[in-house]
Amino acid sequence: MRTQKYLCAALIATAAGHAAAQPTIDGVYDAGSEGSLYSEIIWTQSVPTAFGNNETGDQIGGSIGNPEAVTTGMEICIPLSALGNPTNFRIAGWINSGDRTFLSNQILHDGGLTVDTNNIGGSPDWDTDPRFTTSDFATVPSFASGTPTVDGTLDGLYGAAHFIQTNFTGFGDNGDATAQGGGGSEIDGLYVAADATNLYIFVAGNIEANGNGLDLYIDTDSGATGASELGAGSGSGDFIINAQSGMVFDTGFAPNYVLSVDSEFVDPDRLPRAYFGSFTGNDAAVDLLGTLSGYGAAGAGALTGGDAGVPAASLAVDNSNIEGVGGSATTFTPAAPDSAWAYGSEIDNARVFIDVPNSKLYLFIGGNLELNFNKLNLFFDVQPGGQNVLRDDNVDISFNGLNSMAGVTFDSAFEPDYWMNINRGVDGATGDVLFYADASTLRTNGALRDIFIGDILDYGSFFGGDLPSHPVLDFSGPRIDLLPMVGSESLFSEYAPRFSQLDPFNPVSGLLQIALDNSNVGGVTDTVADSAAANAVSTGIEICLDLDELGWDGSQDILVAGWISNSGFDFVSNQVLGNIPGPDNVGAIDSDNDEINDLDFNSISGDQFLNLSNPAPPVCEADLAAPFGVLNLQDVFAYLALFNSSDPSADLAAPFGTLNLQDVFAYLALFNAGCP
């Protein structure tokens, strides 16, 4: 009797340690400590990943790429007389953001730029900034003689390059070999030629069709006149100078002229354009040379629609280069497997734990996300109503990425009420690993607005930053906008969105928590989808969501849909919850084939969503009593009842046929191990 009393006490103490158990949000499914909490696998991936396979040993670095091999890019023709008929010159230049406030690391230089220099940022002092210890311009002592065809392709008559890039690009590495390109900006080389009338400048590389600018500053008299630093701009291109006002050039370098190429939105396309200006002291009058009708040889030619009195100039922009410098530093990234880094994106399996007493939904999705800001989009259907077809009047979040998906139609039985995306990438300026998530409610009639003046009242929520400071995205603030600006479509919060709207003056931390462990090198590959391998993945994306924040009505089944997309939300992979026939990516499903607005999951066989409610409980020998799926005192009492009644099922250890302490210890071991 005394032994039985001690056994009861030991079992009760053990059970008490399990009673309040909850999963640890770390991106790891631990069968020992979480097997009694999470369900068995409720979904398994059935197609290989077409978004890159993370394999043991994968890493990036060690090579700058092939900038000398690039033969397409930006080609400009301008009269020599507009530049004072130079016979030689020096030229500084860089890729800049569209508003000209953030310089990339793609600059012209004398070859002395420090290897793996990251994006530069604002307006530097090229003379004193410790990042730049040599001359940050290229010298063109003479140029080849001839008349190249201005078509965006390097003619042989240009002769040798005056500059070849030695640094990776922090503004994206283009992977789309079309004339317009699909993303990424880089300067790979500089070539110059002239005939009796015109100067031809060919910059090998790419300039992404998102407004990014290629700015070239030309010093024609070795610094005798011109700007020592950027002052004020005037004319239609004044923003090129004003946004960088205060930038100081290298000692002895003083540009007399500026040439700039970027693109502007002319519905329905974004078209190349060019500006030209001359300096008076540090100030410059910059005018529009004109715009092209498109990209590549087909769109090349004389610029039209420019300001009055500008020189007659020609331009071509061909973004088809996929060679050139790479998009990663030459310093090697961590070798896979690594919890921070992955070199491919996939989703392999899913488990769920709905903790109703504590109002928590836990979702584990095995897999990984590549560090290129690929997005895992998740949509939750938790109450009547919602958006079976995504609307275009939701909150402006993810740089309006949510609204860019307007028109996507879910399966007829799915109407999401809540959305989030999760992504990880690398800061081009610092090389830091970044970890972000955004979230929003999805209301049946669009974002909540003030009934009198129409201002938006719903929040677009975001959270994240460098990974060491944000191992778990817990939406803990501090930012929350208290009052909308008149006419604004944006109201932002670093707390979860639904509660932010309900009481912005008392924000609540931790209602949404997200972790990502990128260690998976198993699962599906880029050629094979083996269900056993997919089910074995135990690292990935782990989420804890407060059920009230989610908007659950307490009775409807909780449903989730989701997919991995590219960073711009406009290209869907084949990694889709609920599976697609595959193996091809869903892609861009739109009349212009550049968005996903016409994507209709009803046209794809099967259901592209999961039911998270009432999953099959985990198989667990220690789980002997309801509520199944949770180890607690009821299981202990059930075992004691079996033991006291000499039930053979309580005989768990040798010597079999006899119930003794060894059987109790065996049960304790099962109980402490949790459910597999």
**Model pLDDT for residues 525-552, shown as the tens digit of each residue:** 999 999 999 999 999 999 999 999 999 9
Beta bridge partners of 290: 274, 305
Give residue for tokens 């970027």.
Answer: 262
Q: Is 238 helix (H, G, I), strand (E, B) or coil?
A: helix
Check: CB of residue 174 under 8 Å from CB of residue 284.
no
Most confident range (mean pLDDT) of 360-374, 604-618, 652-666 is 360-374
DSSP assigned state of 409:
B
**Model pLDDT for residues 477-493, shown as the tens digit of each residue:** 999 999 766 556 789 99
Assign residue 181 a region (left: φ > 0; alpha: ψ between -120 and 50; beta: otherwise).
left
Residue 670 confidence (pLDDT): 83
**Alpha-carbon span 359 to 353, nearest angstrom:** 11
Q: Which residues, in sequence order, are CB contacts of 265 under 8 Å at separation 6+?
A: none
Q: Is 346 helix (H, G, I), strand (E, B) or coil?
A: strand
**Model pLDDT for residues 216-242, shown as the tens digit of each residue:** 999 999 999 999 999 999 999 999 999
Comparing CA positions, the residue from 74, 70, 147 lying closest to residue 316 is 74
Q: b or e along 232-247 (b: 16 or more beta carbons within 10 Å of the residue's beta carbon)?
A: ebebbbbbbbbbbeeb
Section 609-637 average pLDDT = 79
Evaluate the omega torsion of the peptide bond into residue 272 and state whether it is cis, within 30 degrees of 0.
no
Q: pLDDT-based confidence at 655, cuts 50/70/90?
A: confident
β-pairing verdict for 375-381 and 418-426: antiparallel
**Alpha-carbon span 287 to 290, nearest angstrom:** 9
Q: pLDDT-based confidence at 1, cuts 50/70/90?
A: very low
Residue 455 confidence (pLDDT): 85
Element (H, E) at 534: helix 531-535
**Model pLDDT for residues 3-59, shown as the tens digit of each residue:** 444 455 445 445 444 445 799 999 999 998 898 899 999 999 999 999 999 999 999
Exposure of 300 in the CB half-sphere (CA atoms within 13 A):
21
Residue 2 confidence (pLDDT): 39
β-pairing verdict for 559-565 and 375-381: antiparallel
Section 552-569 average pLDDT = 96
| Rg for the chain, CA atoms, rounded | 30
Widest CA span in the chain: 111
**Alpha-carbon span 23 to 36, nearest angstrom:** 10
Give residue for tokens 């629609």.
Answer: 305
Section 434-444 average pLDDT = 98
Structure tokens at 602: 């009803």
Residue 397 confidence (pLDDT): 95
Residue 314 confidence (pLDDT): 98
**Alpha-carbon span 295 to 301, nearest angstrom:** 10
Question: What burial class does residue 269 get, using C-beta atoms within 10 Å of its C-beta: 0-12 exposed, 13-18 middle, 19+ buried?
Answer: middle
Domain boundaries, the chain: 2-18+617-673, 41-53+344-615, 73-325
- Does pLDDT of 433 surpass 50? yes
**Alpha-carbon span 356 to 360, nearest angstrom:** 6
Percent with pLDDT over 90 in the chain: 78
The Cα angle at residue 591 between residues 589 and 594, in degrees rounded to 5? 60
**Alpha-carbon span 420 to 435, nearest angstrom:** 14
Residue 257 confidence (pLDDT): 98
Element (H, E) at 218: strand 213-219
Beta bridge partners of 365: 350, 541
Section 155-165 average pLDDT = 96
Q: Is 104 helix (H, G, I), strand (E, B) or coil?
A: strand
In one-letter notation, the amino acid at residue 597 is N
Residue 618 confidence (pLDDT): 54
Most confident range (mean pLDDT) of 296-305, 451-460, 613-622 is 296-305
Section 599-609 average pLDDT = 96
**Alpha-carbon span 472 to 365, nearest angstrom:** 15
The Cα angle at residue 192 between residues 189 and 194, in degrees rounded to 5? 165
Element (H, E) at 669: helix 661-673
Assign residue 168 a region (left: φ > 0; alpha: ψ between -120 and 50; beta: otherwise).
beta
Cα distances (angstroms) measured from residue 598 to each of 389, 527, 579, 581, 609:
10, 28, 19, 18, 18
**Model pLDDT for residues 619-632, shown as the tens digit of each residue:** 677 888 877 767 88
Give residue for tokens 């002291």.
Answer: 281
Q: pLDDT-based confidence at 265, cuts 50/70/90?
A: confident
Residue bearing the bigger pLDDT, 426 or 452: 426
**Alpha-carbon span 353 to 675, nearest angstrom:** 13
Check: CB of residue 279 under 8 Å from CB of residue 257.
yes
Check: CB of residue 566 under 8 Å from CB of residue 588.
no
Q: Is 19 helix (H, G, I), strand (E, B) or coil?
A: helix
Q: Which residues, in sequence order, are CB contacts of 468 under 8 Å at separation 6+?
A: none
Check: CB of residue 355 under 8 Å from CB of residue 22.
yes
Residue bearing the bigger pLDDT, 360 or 641: 360
Check: CB of residue 355 under 8 Å from CB of residue 409.
no
| Other CB atoms within 10 Å distance of the CB of residue 589 | 18
Q: Is 561 helix (H, G, I), strand (E, B) or coil?
A: strand
β-pairing verdict for 324-325 and 304-305: unpaired
**Model pLDDT for residues 60-100, shown as the tens digit of each residue:** 888 999 999 999 999 999 999 999 999 999 999 999 999 99
**Average model confidence (pLDDT) across the chain:** 92
